[in-house]
Each structure stands twice: as C-alpha cells, then as structure tokens.
Structure 1
Amino acid sequence: MSVENESPRRIGRPRNFDRDETLLAIVDVFWRLGYNQTSFRELEAATGEGRQSLVNAFGDKAAIFEKAIQCYIDHRVNEVIELLRGEGEPLDRIAKVLARWEADAKAPDHRGCLLVNTGGEIGPKNAAIADRMANSTQRLVNEFAKTYQQAMKTGAIATKPSAKSLARLTVALGDGALLQARVSGDAAAAKQTLVTLAELIRSR
C-alpha cells in the first residue's frame, strides 16, 4: 500500500496551543504548590498539555519555573505598580495595594505571594530567579517611595521617616504578612498586620 500521500504525523504541541494561557495555568500550579512539590503530572493536569509539549514550549522544569516567575512579575508586580500610579490620593492608592495583599492572604489556598514563597523555598540557590526577585522588590520599593513622597508633599503624612524607609517597611511587612498566612493557613494575623500598617501610615 502506498503511503506517499499520507499526512506526516504531528509531533509536539497542537496548533491551537496558547502559550500565554498555558503559562498562566503553570504559574497557578507553582503558586499553590511551590517548586519542589510541583511535578509534570500537576503541570499536565492544569494545562491539558503533555509533558513533551510543555518541554518543547518552555524547557525543562527549572526553565519552566523561571518563565513562570517572570510571568508572575509581569502580571502581579506590574499590577501593584499600576495601582500605585493610578488615580486618587496617594494614601488611597497605597490602601488599594494593601487590600489586594489582604485578598491574597485570604485566598482559600492561602497562596500568598509567589515571589515571597519562592524566596523562602529556594532563596539564593537559583541566581537567575534571585536576581528577578531582587529587581522586583526594588521596583516595588521605588514605586511606594514615590507615592509616599507625593503624600508628604501634600502634607498628608509627616516627612520623617523618609519616603524610602516607609516604602521598605511597607514591602517588608507585606511580604511577612503574606508568608505568615501561607505558613499558618490563617489569614487573620496577616489581615491585622496590614490593617495596623494602614492605620499607622494615616496617623502620622
């Protein structure tokens, strides 16, 4: 039987493979489970793609995780920055960010922040990811500092401590609150930390 006219067998991901949608699903898995507890089985179940398709598209597990971290930064970190640059009074914009963090702490799976979780799980072991995390933290600190500076110029808050110091404190407390919720499975303490921070900022 002649096989000259038969279509060649397709290998790898199908034509309708949506890279962005698949990567967002991957982010969700790592966010819930962490790097060490995530296997290709979980990634396959979440994306509906086979292991080979995922490897062809993104690389091995370490490479997939790096892309997931960058995707998280592009969406979640930039979202916070957009809130801080948005409309309204400076302190109101900061309050919106704190409310967003509280919502993350109260999520049913207490996922917290993927960057904070990764810092606790992997730390400086992966230089590429550590650099991305450090860069993202600095971007947040800089953006909070700009917003606090705006509040100081309008007289909404005192000029000491400095805007940069307040920014570092805000990011550090936010990270700590989200990690606490992740570890304890209880968002109550995280919520109280963020509420107290908001009250202290406005009372200055």
Structure 2
Amino acid sequence: MFKKVLIAEDMDFINFGVRSELEKLGVKEIDYVQYCDEALLKLKSAHLNNAPFDLLISDLSFEQDHNNQKITSGEQLIKNVRNDFPKLKIAVFSVEDKAYTIQTLFKEHHINAYVWKSRDGLRELNRALNMIETSESIYISPELASVLACNNSVEITEYDIFLIDCLSQGLLQGQISEKLKELNLNPSSVSAVEKRLKFLKEHFNANNPAHLVAMSKDLGLI
C-alpha cells in the first residue's frame, strides 16, 4: 500500500474520514492541507528532502477566505502537480460530476482515480486506492463511468470554450471577433466566429446561443 499520502481538502470532517480510510489501509505517513498552494509546496519540499509523497488525494472545490491563494481550485493544483511530478499517483475525491471536467482530468492531467463523494464514497475510495496502488489501471466511480465511455469524435478546444464564454458574457459575434484580435487569437474574423458557433450549436443540438451557453455550463465547459 502507499506509504506516504497527502490529502488536499478544505473540509475538516472530510479530511478526518479520508485519513481514517487510509489508516485502515495501513498507510504509515498521512499529511493534509486545506489550501492548494500549501499542497504544492509540501509536495516540492518532500521531493527536495528525498522523502517524496507517492499519492495525492485532492478535492476540486476549495472555498476562498482571507488567505490569498495563487492556486484556487483542485483542477489547477492537479495541472501544476502533474507538470512537476509526472509519475505521482493522483486520486480525485469530489462531488463534481460534469463530463468535460472529468474527461479533462483523465485525458490531459492523467489522474489515476476519480471517486465521487457519494454516500458510499469513502469505502469506494478504499477500493480505488487498492486498484491504482498495484497497477496502472485507472478507476472511476461506476455512476460516472459513462463519462469516459462516451465516444465523442469532436474535440472541444480552448478556442471553443473562449467563444462560448464570450457568449455567456452577452458579447455579439463582432465583439467576440474584436476580442480575439486583441488577444492575437486566430481565427478572429467575424465569419470564422459565426461558422464555429454554428458548428457548436449543431454539435450540442442547441436551439440558440443561450441554449448553447446553458448546455456548456451543465457540462462544465465554462
């Protein structure tokens, strides 16, 4: 079993539950933090001291308070951690169930497990850790398995997300075009914006721009 585990979770009672499960599994060294910045610092410090962690368990949502943080979400933390520690095992323990978020975590940030915070979440976390500790297999909660099973041949890019986010702000196509030009993003012409938004509406079967924005929010794109 994992020997040294870091938990990134801002709720004390969840921290306590996760620590209890880790103790049942025989994990000898357990540390926990309530802030993402602190989590990254602990991982780096442990690595420099030749006593690295071999597992990170992280939530995705962290409430902001008086302590200003550079990293404000679990997804941002995982992105940074994966860049610095490509071989570290990462398990997400979260209530988030949006398809795009989960797909991104697996496909781009290469997490090892995604456990949904359900009534049986802690016992399921136990099962997930047993699986990923002994193999390179990934684990995802059964309730969310269809998210990865979806065969979506169309890749939604950062450009697409930018367009939809602009729509959510009430910008017209001409205004979106100007914003793209200001940021040196291409294609930036009004016709290109119009064509891509038309494609996205058809792809998501959205009736109008407002419907496209609403569906994108439901999927976790924006």
TM-score using structure 2 length: 0.27
Greater RCO (Cα-Cα under 8 Å, separation 6 or more): 1
Indicate the structure with greater strand content.
Answer: 2
Indicate the structure (1 or 2) with the bigger Cα radius of gyration.
1
Indicate the structure with greater helix content.
Answer: 1
